[in-house]
Structure 1
Amino acid sequence: MSSITFPHLDEDMGSSSSPNLNSMHDSMQASFYTPPAFDMSSSFQMNPLSAHPPRTPRSSSAAHFRNMSMSISVYDEKGEEQQDTETVRGENVEVDEDGVEELDEEDARVKEAEKLVKTHEVWRDLFVTSNGRDKAFKLMQYSIRVYLLFHRKILFRGGNSAWQLEIVRRLLAAKNGFSFTRKLLIMFNWLNPLSQVLAQQSVPFSSSGSSLTPHSLTPAPESSSKSSQSYAGPFLSHPFLRALLSAPPPILLELANGLSDDIYALSRLGLIGPKLGERASRFANWCWLLSTLVGLVENGVEMGVIEGLQREVQSRAYKESLSGATSKSQPKESKIDERELARLQKKNYWLQISRAKLAMDFIFVAYDIFGIKGWKDSIQSFAGLAAAVLSSAKLYDKQKNVLVNKALASYTS
C-alpha cells in the first residue's frame, strides 16, 4: 500500500532520515510542494464563465495576489479579464446591467415628446372644450376688473371726460358679457355628478354598513320588506332616491351647485323670474362655500400623505448613503428613488396650487355670503384673477400631459 507524503511534514522527517535523502527530498519538494504565502488555488473557486460569476477584487489587490502566487490557472486569467470588463462597465454611468439604461431611454423619450408638443397646440386643444373657454373668459373678465380698479383709483382718479367715461362703460359691458357667457358655458355641469349618483344603483352590495353581501345572495323575508316599505313609504323606497341619499356629500354639493347655477342662468335669460334667480344664486354660493371647505380638507389630507411618502423616500436614500451605497454601486435603486421623489415633489407642488386656488375661491364667496363691505371690489377682483391664473395653469399642465402621452404613443409605435 503506497504512502502519501505531506509537504508540511518535512521538518519532522528531516531529523530521522539521512542527509543525502533529506537534500534530495527537499529539492523535489521545493519544485513541486513549496506553498506560496497565500495560496489562492487551495480555496474554493467558481467558474467565471458561468451565468453569475463571482465578484473579483479590485485591480490593485488582484495584482498584489498575482505577484504573491506562484502559478495562475486558466480560470483565474479569464476571471481577471471579466474583472476588467466589469470595472469598465461600472465606471460608465450610462450603462448598467440592472435596467438603468432602459430608464434613461424613457427619460429621453419623454423629453423628445415634450419638444414635439408646442404651446399653441395646447391652447388650441384647450379652447375646443367648454372648460378651457371658461378659463380664458375668466382671465379676461377679472383682468378687466383689476384694470378698472387701477383706472378709477390710480390712473384717472378724478377724470370725468367723455372718452374716459366711454372706456369705463365699454369695459363694464365687456366684463358683464364675459360673466354671462361663462354662466352659459357651465350649464348642464350637473350631469357629471348625476351620472355618478346613478352609477351607484348598479352596485350589488347592500347599503347598510353591517353587511357586504349582495342582495341576490341574501333574500329578505317578505314581511320585513313590506314593513320597511310601509315605514319608509313608496316615495323614499325609489332606487334613485336611495342612491341620492347614499351619495357622498361632495357629489351632492356639486349636483346642487350645478342645478342652482342653471336656474340663475335661466333667470338672466329672462325665462325665470328674478326673485327665484337671486335665491338660486345665493343657494349656489352656499354650495360653493361648502364644497370649497370640503376641498380644502381633502387637499390637506392628501398633502399630508404625500409629505409622508417624501420623508420615507428621503430617509431610505439617507440610510443607503450611510451604508456606503452610491449611485454607482446601486444605480437602479438610486434612480428609482430619484424618480419617485421627483414625482412626489411635483404632485405636492400642484396640490399647493390647488390649495391656493381653493383659498382664493373661499375669500371670494365669503364676501358675497356674509355681506362683507370693506374692500369688497378690490379683494374679489384680485382673488378672482389669482384663482383664474391658478386654475388655468392646472388645466394647461393637464392638457399638456395628454398631448405628451399621445406623442409618446406615436413615438413608440
Structure 2
Amino acid sequence: MSSISFPSEHVSGRPSDSHDGQFYSSSFDASSSFHMNPLSSHPPRTPRTSVISNSSSQIYGASIYEEKVDITNDASKEDLELDEDEERVKEAEKRIRKEDVWREMFLTSYGRDKAFKLIQYSIRVFLVFHTNATTSRLLRRQMRPPWELELVKRLTSAASGLSFTRKMLLLFNWLQPLTAIMAQQTVPFSAEQSTESSKKTQRPFLHTVLYAPPPVLLELVNALADDVATFSKLGLLGKKVGERAGRFSDWCWFFATLVGLVENGVERQVMSSLQAEVEGRLYTESMSGATAKSKPSASKIDEKELSRLQKQDYWLQISRAKLVMDLIFVSYELFNIRRARDSVKAFTGLTAAVLCSAKFYDRQKNALLKSIISS
C-alpha cells in the first residue's frame, strides 16, 4: 500500500523555490505566517510594493516641481517687466505738462505754422458767422456801428497777414524731400556690392529723381512752386509767374492728397488685419481656458499690442479726415467752385488745422515721453 507523501515534509525548499520563482515576485516572503499551496490552480496574488509609493518620486518628484517653479519664475519676471514699463510710462506722463508740449511745438516752424493756421481760420469762421448774421432779416440793419466795421476790417487784415506769415514760415521746405532723394542716390544698387564699389558708382541725380517715390517727388515740386509764389508776393518775381506757380502748387497739392488717401486706405487695411489676428489669438486663449494666471505674459503682450494697433488706427482715421478736408479745400481753389465758397473753405481749413495740430501735439508728447523714460 503506497504511502501519501506531502511535499512540505520531504521537499522543504526546492519545489517551493521553483514555484515561488514562477508565481511570486522576489518581494514575497515565504517565511510569513500565512502559507498557500503553490500548486493550486488559483495562486494568490503576488504582494507588490505600492505603485503610488514607487511612482510618487517620479510623478510628484522634485524635477517636475523645479520645472514648474522655473516656468512661473520666468512668467513672473516678464509680468514684473511689463508692470514696471507701465508704471514708468505712467510716472513719465504725470511729469509732462501741456505747457511743455506747446513749447516744443512752437520751437519748430511747422508748429508755429499750425498755431497761426488755427488763429487764421478761427478768424475766418468768425467772419463767416458775422457776415451771415448781418445779412439775415432778423439782425440786418441799415447802419452798422463804426467799431463793428473797424473790427471786421482788422480781422480781415489779420487773417490775410497770418496767411502770408505762414507762407514765409514754409520757405525752403523743399530741403526735406530733397535730402530724402539725395540719400537714395548714395545707396548701392545691390546689397552684395562692397563699400568701395558703392562709393565709386553712384546713381545720377536725374535718375534718382525719376525713380523717387511719387509722394516725395510731389512734395518736392509742391514746395518749390510754393516758394516761387511766395517770392512773387514779396515782389522778387513777376505777378504772372507767381499766379502760375500758385496754380501749379495747388495741382500738386491735389494729387498729393489723393496719393495720401490711397496710402492711408492701404495702411488701414493692414492695421485691421493685424487687429483681427491679435483678437483671434486673444479669443483662442479665452476659449482654451487660459487665464491671466496660466498665461500672463502672452495675454498681456497681446493686449498691449492690440491697444497699440487701435491707437495707430485712430490716428490713421484722423489723418484720413484731415486729407479729406484738404481735398475739399483745394478742389474749391482748383475748380473755382462759387457756391458757399467762403464758408466751406473756412470750416474745412479750421477742421484740418485742429486735426493736424492734435496729431502734431501727440507726436511731440511721445517724443518728450521717450526722452524722460530714456533719461
Task: Please indicate the TM-score interval, normalised by the length of the shorter structure.
Answer: 0.7 to 0.9
SS of 1:99's partner is helix
Inter-partner Cα distance in structure 2 for 1:260 and 1:180: 15
CA distance in 2, matches of 1:386, 1:48: 68
The answer to whether structure 1 residue 39 and structure 2 residue 52 are counterparts is yes
CA distance in 2, matches of 1:190, 1:174: 27
Instruction: State the match for 1:380 in structure 2.
Output: 345
Q: What one-letter code is carried by the residue in structure 1 that aligns with 2:341? A: K
| Greater mean deviation of Cα atoms: 40-49 or 377-386 | 40-49
**In the alignment, structure 1 residue 97 sits paired with structure 2 residue 79:** no
Of 129, 136, 141, the residue aligned with 1:150 is: 129
> Contact conserved, 1:364 with 1:383, CA < 8 A, in 2?
yes
Contact between 1:257 and 1:287, CA under 8 Å: does it hold in 2? yes
Task: Check if 1:339 corresponds to 2:304.
Answer: yes
Residues 214-261 of structure 1 deviation map (CA, whole Å, 9 limit, x = unaligned) = 8949x99xxxxxxxxxxxxxxxx9922122112121111111110111
Partner of 2:291 in structure 1? 326
| C-alpha contact 2:329 2:344 (8 A) present in aligned 1 | yes
Give the C-alpha shift of residue 8 in structure 1.
7.9
Letter of the 2:252 counterpart:
C
Identify the residue that residue 91 of structure 2 maps to in structure 1: 112
Aligned to 1:257: 222
Query: 1:375-406: CA deviations, max 9, x gaps?
Result: 11111110000000000000000000010111
Identify the residue that residue 176 of structure 2 maps to in structure 1. 192
Farther off after superposition, 270-279 or 176-185: 270-279
Please give the alpha-carbon distance, in whole angstroms, between the structure 1 residues aligned to 2:374 and 2:129. 48
Name the structure 1 match of 2:3. none
Shift in CA distance, 348/40, structure 1 to aligned 2, threshold 3 Å: farther
Check conservation: 1:48, 1:54, Cα contact below 8 A: no
For 2:28 and 2:130, locate their aligned partners in 1 and report how far apart those are by CA, in whole Å: 106
Selected match of 2:149 from 165, 176, 200: 165
Instruction: Give unmatched runs, 5+ long, in structure 1.
Output: 18-24, 56-81, 221-236
State which of 36, 39, 55 in structure 2 corresponds to 1:14: 36
| Residue matched to 1:132 | 111
Q: CA deviation at 1:9?
A: 10
Q: Give the equivalent residue in structure 1 for 2:237.
A: 272
Contact (CA 8 Å) 1:47, 1:53: kept in 2 or not? no
Consecutive unaligned residues of structure 2, counting only runs of 5 or more, are: 1-13
Matched, 1:299 2:264: yes
Matched AA of 2:168 = L
Secondary structure of 1:187's aligned partner: coil
**Partner AA of 2:172 in structure 1:** F
Residue matched to 1:403: 368
- Number of the residue aligned with 2:5: none
Among residues 294, 302, 326, which one is paired with 1:361 in the alignment?
Answer: 326
State the TM-score, normalizing by the size of structure 1: 0.75
**Equivalences for residues 69-88 of structure 1 within 5 A:** none
Q: What's the % identity of the aligned pairs?
A: 51
**1:390 partner amino acid:** L
Correspondence for 2:11: none
Write the letter of the residue equivalent to 2:281.
R
Aligned counterparts of 1:251 and 1:16: Cα–Cα separation in 2: 98
State how far apart, in whole Å, the 2-side matches of 1:123 and 1:199 are. Answer: 32
- Size of the aligned set, in residue pairs, is 343
